A and B are shown apart, each in its own frame.
Chain A
Amino acid sequence: MAWIYFLVVAVFAVLGFYAGRSRAHAFRENGHNLHSLPGYHGYFVILAIIVPMLVLFAIWSTAETRLLETQALHSLPAAFQPTDDLSRATRLREIHNVASGQTFGEVPPEVRSVGEAFAHNLTLSHWAKLVLGMAFGAFGYLWATRRLSPHFRARNTVERAVKLILLACSIVAVLTTVGIVFSVLFETFRFFARVPWWEFLFGFQWSPQTAIRADQVGSSGAFGAVPLFVGTTLIMVIAMCVAGPIGLFSAIYMAEYASPRVRSIAKPVLEVLAGVPTVVFGFFAALTVAPLIRSAGEALGLDVASESALAAGLVMGVMIIPFVSSLSDDVINAVPQSLRDGSYGMGATKSETIKKVVLPAALPGIVSAFMLAISRAVGETMIVVMAAGLSANLTFNPLEAVTTVTVQIKTLLTGDQEFDSAKTLSAFALGFVLFFFTLAMNFVALQVVRRYREQYD
């Protein structure tokens, strides 16, 4: 139904554009000097048509379902009136099922008739919306064309409208962010109402299985997240030990030493690495790297788990190399040639110039490249699920299985879950910690950059 509406909007918009533009052309042929180009008159008419039509659609669509549902529930016989939220939801589902023609099992005839009436009303409402929308569009067209004249400042009006549209988009982005933060925060507080925050932040025991029924035993639940934080940090450190030096040094090679030919081949290849899906890295880690590490460890007489932090960390390090190298390469290239010339002119060698002039000048950008890589490492899930395991061991030994914050969130929320147990709510607390960590790191990075910035312009 909605697509018909949008088709009508599109057709109206196209017609409106040509009508507005030809009006403007007509003014010009009659010897008038136009203030704005004819195209702007066309765009103005488009806006006057689609804005009211879309606003009407948005308002009507949100209102109609709710109104019709309430009305349908009211028209149910007294015996079927819902008594609480749960039965209300069940009734509504039944009504919707009848309306869409998908019924399972026995539906009481009273409910069936209400459902059919609901479907009928919904169709009526859709048509009413369409007709009213067309009326709005036509009204907008009339209003706009009456305003068109040779002196009409269509360009300024359209520019203002464009600005408003862009503003609206940024507001949506900002509000979404704020909304996510608050919903996570809210659920986190609900979790802390059940499990004290100090136990969560400083507890050494993580076993989130809670009893579903009161008579179950052995699943009391322990929510000490320290093993997860340690596991996350361990894997992140291993990954950065791989990606930091390799990424930075390859960036220096690309930017300072490589011939244009090598660079034109090697850089895209490195960037392909960034395009490999993390799942692929995951099974690479689980099926190739982890067994390799285990057999190497056994040959050395070490006790290596088949899922180890080392395997996950190494592969994750390879995954984030392109983040470090590509961004560092860009900032190194952005250091002006005049600084290098100055250094060479003093008799400095290439490596002295890089070490003492180019890298310090590029430092803020390199730091932010590292920060981005760390955020990626901390937020990465797939590789860790597949290669590092799920057991929440509190260990700094990279050869043991560990688990991370993201993996636990994924484990807690997949499958059928009740959404008000401490178990599921703990995922929000973990998410909040993750969010807070990233935020703190960005803040620290910003301070570092500001403190050590060497401004070259």
Chain B
Amino acid sequence: MDLSLSPIAHVDVPPDTRTKIRASGVNVFYGDKHALKDVSIAIPEKAVMAFIGPSGCGKSTFLRCINRMNDTIDIARITGNIDIDGQDIYTPSLDVVQLRARVGMVFQKPNPFPKSIFENIAYGPRIHGIAKDKTELEEIVVGSLKRAGLFEEVKDRLDDSGTSLSGGQQQRLCIARAIAVSPEIILMDEPCSALDPIASAKIEELITELRQNFTIVIVTHSMQQAARVSQRTAFFHLGILVEEGATDDIFTNPREPRTQDYITGRFG
């Protein structure tokens, strides 16, 4: 990677945390639309980074760059660099399958596969050949369900369809599914937007727990949620990363007037 071409001027990372993901000069085009403009950011390890901003501001687009989900969209074109642990994820030699095993994703609408709860979790370990035998696979499934705080609720019905669960349970199932392949990073694209407040609170609790072991990047529309779960926050507007910093600073003492306007509810 050539950092000298795209200096990251306004990124300030606290010196005590290691940077997990570093993006510099990322641009995304959907056909003629310039969806993301020259975004540079450093995301620290084992912490929660929240992306906030009004609809269509590019925060989900940027999130989908981190595990190359934009590859599945034919008209999407990406320039710039994204490194994970210093390794460029857009080099041609990189295997997307392995990247996505390291970078899990949870989507806006819970999307369990139309299979049993067990098979939903076992899906990832199976395609990556993680478990050596059936016992190990069962251990992974149970362990993932426990870490996602879902095991007690479903332990008697692992053979039921994943779609028979409630919305909040489905979303925790999707989180368990992502954890099952032991990723280093979990991307969450508005994981609570389809859930009621109680289910959302459980997910937030879960995120706080998962922070011990995973680097988490969460896109959210709820500024309260960002304030509750994240340590650092980035504010996007019209495809531009306006401001990034410690969550407390962003919400109490924003540098940019646009950030101030957004968090005080003047637009968005």
Contact = CB atoms under 8 A, between A and B. Distances in A.
Interface stretch (A117-125, A263-271, A348-356, A426-434): A348-356
Contacts of A361: 113-114
Given A454-B161, A455-B161, A345 B107 contact: yes
The majority secondary structure among interface residues of chain A is helix
B124 interface: yes
A456 B67 contact: no
B213 interface: no
Contacts of A343: 113, 123
B145 interface: no
A342 B113 contact: yes
A345 B113 contact: no
B67 A345 contact: yes
A454 B162 CA distance: 10
Contacts of A455: 114, 161, 163
B114 A347 contact: no
Interface in B108-124: 109, 111-115, 123-124
Contact of A348 (B107, B114, B127): B127
Contact of B114 (A259, A345, A352, A456): A456
Interface stretch (B97-105, B148-156, B221-229, B238-246): B97-105
B68 to A, nearest CB: 9
Given A345-B67, A345-B107, A454-B161, A339 B114 contact: yes
Interface residues of B, number: 29
Interface in A330-368: 336, 338-349, 352, 356-357, 360-361
Interface string A311-346: 000000000000000000000000010111111111
Contact of B181 (A259, A339, A341, A347): A347
B128 A347 contact: yes
B123 A346 contact: yes
The majority secondary structure among interface residues of chain B is helix
Given A338-B107, A344-B100, A346-B127, A454 B115 contact: yes
A456 B113 CA distance: 7
Contacts of B181: 346-347
Contacts of B104: 345-346
B136 to A, nearest CB: 18
B174 interface: yes
A345 B163 contact: no
Nearest to B98: A347
A347 B115 CA distance: 18
Nearest to A260: B74
- Which of B67, B74, B123, B163 is most buried by chain A, counting CB atoms within 10 A of its CB? B123
A339 B100 contact: no
Interface in B146-184: 161, 163, 174, 177-178, 181
B72 A344 contact: yes
Contacts of A342: 107, 111-113, 174, 177
A30 to B, nearest CB: 54
A347 B177 CA distance: 12
B127 A345 contact: no
Contacts of B1: none
A300 to B, nearest CB: 44
B11 interface: no
A346 B114 contact: no
Interface size grouping (class) on chain A: 20 to 34
A348 B174 CA distance: 15
Contacts of A347: 96-101, 124, 127-128, 181
Contacts of A457: 163
Interface in A124-143: none
Nearest to B125: A346
B98 A456 contact: no
Nearest to A335: B114
Interface string B59-101: 0000000010100101000000000000000000000111111
Contact of A454 (B98, B100, B111, B114): B114
Nearest to B161: A455
Contacts of B128: 347
A336 B110 CA distance: 12
A360 to B, nearest CB: 7
Nearest to B108: A338
A364 to B, nearest CB: 11
B69 A345 contact: yes
A344 B74 CA distance: 15
Contact of B97 (A259, A349, A454, A456): A349
Interface in A423-449: none
A412 B41 CA distance: 82
Contacts of B113: 339, 342-343, 357, 361, 454
B97 A360 contact: no
A325 to B, nearest CB: 23
Given A356-B123, A454-B161, A455-B161, A345 B115 contact: no
Contact of B100 (A259, A336, A338, A345): A345
Closest 8 CB pairs of A and B: A454-B114, A347-B100, A345-B105, A338-B111, A342-B111, A347-B101, A456-B114, A346-B124
28 contacts: A338-B109, A339-B113, A339-B114, A341-B72, A341-B111, A342-B107, A342-B113, A343-B113, A344-B69, A345-B67, A345-B69, A345-B100, A345-B105, A346-B104, A346-B123, A346-B178, A346-B181, A347-B99, A347-B100, A347-B101, A347-B124, A347-B127, A348-B97, A352-B127, A360-B115, A454-B115, A454-B161, A455-B161
Interface of B: 67, 69, 72, 74, 96-101, 104-105, 107, 109, 111-115, 123-124, 127-128, 161, 163, 174, 177-178, 181
Given A454-B161, A455-B114, 7 more contacts: A341-B69, A342-B112, A346-B104, A346-B178, A347-B98, A349-B97, A456-B163
